[in-house]
Amino acid sequence: MKYMNLLILFLIAVGGGILNAFSWVNLPPVGPREMNLSLLILQLSGNRNDIVLLGTMDELLNFSIRMIPGYLACIVIGIELYRHFCTAGVYVFSRYTKRLRWYLSELSDMFLSSLAFQVLTVAAVLIVSMIRFHVVFDGAGCLLMVYHILIYTLWLYSMSLLLSTIASYSGSEAAYIFIIGLQTFMIALLSLNNADWGEPFLMINPASRLVLGWYDSTVRLLPYQIRGNSYQWLSFAGSVVLLLAGALMISFITSYLIRHRDILGSNAEIGV
């Protein structure tokens, strides 16, 4: 079953990457048929060519659509852990003498799956783009690609872990609705980019970290100009540290919960 889930994850990554490459990675309307890797990566995280995410409803909807493969991956990765609590939970957990050790190995699998998913997605986008036009591998692009993969991996890992934990307590449907609702809500709040008073709210919204075009570090890194807001408080290292701290905190809390979880229900879905 694990291999089946890995295959599904692979298909979502490649399929989602191809779809995103055709839908959101676009050459400028005029000029040569080539694109810097840096601009390609920025388009994956909300840019419309050289214009960074403005935060209009139309743009946020497009941004959410870009995230759909990630939502699906979140469900597949989250299920991998959660399903142990369902159907045969009693028979599974009666075989794990050290539940915490099992959980930590599941967490490392979950992180690796999240990382592999993001690497595959970006690779698929890159390959399709290279077929469509000439991609110029600039230094800034390589660095942006690494940060994109890291930031989106930590995001996917945290969301998958939250999903599996909520699902093991409240059933999968409630967990899907909560996690997808939470992400949609946070993305909708990115519209505060347009409000004069919105910056403090963007600072506390983790989804702001997903928009690489908003990073002051990006603006300083690029050899050309992009248009739109940028924020000094957004730095690559800062975001990685912050998202890593969030992921560790979620891991720590869920480890405690799972360790003390009673395997009472024979089926968490129906609560028997």
Partner 1 sequence: MQLKVNNISKTIRRKKILDSVSMDLYGGKVYVICGPNGCGKTMLFRALSGLMSLDSGTVELDGKILRKDFSVLPSLGIVLENVNLYANLTGFQNLQYLAELKGLIGESEIRNALRRVGLDPEDRRTYKKYSLGMKQRLAIAQAIMESPDIIMLDEPTNALDREGAARIRELIMEEKNRGTLVLIATHNDEDVRILADGIFEMESGQITDYKAGSAGIAGFLSEDRIPNSQSLRG
Q: Are 25 and 43 in contact (CB under 8 A)?
A: yes
Number of residues binding to partner 1, judged by CB under 8 A: 23
171 binds partner 1 (CB under 8 A): no
For the chain, what is the total number of helices (H) and then of strands (E)? 11, 2
Expressed in angstroms, the distance from the first to the final Cα of the chain is 24
Q: How far apart are CB 141 and partner 1 at their closest, in Å? A: 42
Which residue, 134 or 259, has its beta carbon nearer to partner 1? 259
Tell me how far apart the alpha carbons of residues 224 and 53 are, in angstroms, rounded to a whole number.
17
Interacting residues of 123 by C-beta distance below 8 A, sequence separation 6+: 17
Which residue, 93 or 133, has its beta carbon nearer to partner 1? 93
Give me the amino acid identity at 194. N
Which residue, 64 or 266, has its beta carbon nearer to partner 1? 266
**Binding range to partner 1, per CB under 8 A, among 15-23, 38-46, 235-243, 255-263:** 255-263
263 binds partner 1 (CB under 8 A): yes
3 binds partner 1 (CB under 8 A): no
**Residue 232 phi, psi (nearest 5):** -65, -30
267 binds partner 1 (CB under 8 A): yes
CA-nearest of 136, 67, 81 to 112 is: 81
Question: Of the candidates 7, 11, 61, 88, which one interacts with partner 1 according to CB under 8 A?
Answer: 88
**Binding range to partner 1, per CB under 8 A, among 22-30, 45-53, 186-194, 261-269:** 261-269
- Look up tokens 């399929």; give the residue: 15
Retrieve residue 51's tokens: 């214009």
Q: How far apart are CB 42 and partner 1 at their closest, in Å? A: 43
Which residue, 92 or 127, has its beta carbon nearer to partner 1? 92
266 binds partner 1 (CB under 8 A): yes
Q: Looking at 52-153, which runs of residues are DSSP E strands?
A: 134-136
108 binds partner 1 (CB under 8 A): no
Return the H-helix or E-strand segment holding 73.
helix 68-82
Scanning residues 228 to 247, which ones bind partner 1 (CB under 8 A)? Answer: none
How far is the CA of 226 from the CAs of 22, 74, 215, 263, in angstroms? 22, 31, 11, 53
Question: Of the candidates 95, 196, 204, 223, which one interacts with partner 1 according to CB under 8 A?
Answer: 95
Q: How far apart are CB 255 and partner 1 at their closest, in Å? A: 13
- Any idea what the Cα angle at residue 119 is, between residues 61 and 7, rounded to 5°? 90
Return the H-helix or E-strand segment holding 34.
strand 34-36
6 binds partner 1 (CB under 8 A): no
Which residue, 91 or 224, has its beta carbon nearer to partner 1? 91
Which residue, 92 or 123, has its beta carbon nearer to partner 1? 92
Judged by the rule CB under 8 A, the positions of this chain that interact with partner 1 are 1, 87-100, 259-260, 262-264, 266-267, 272
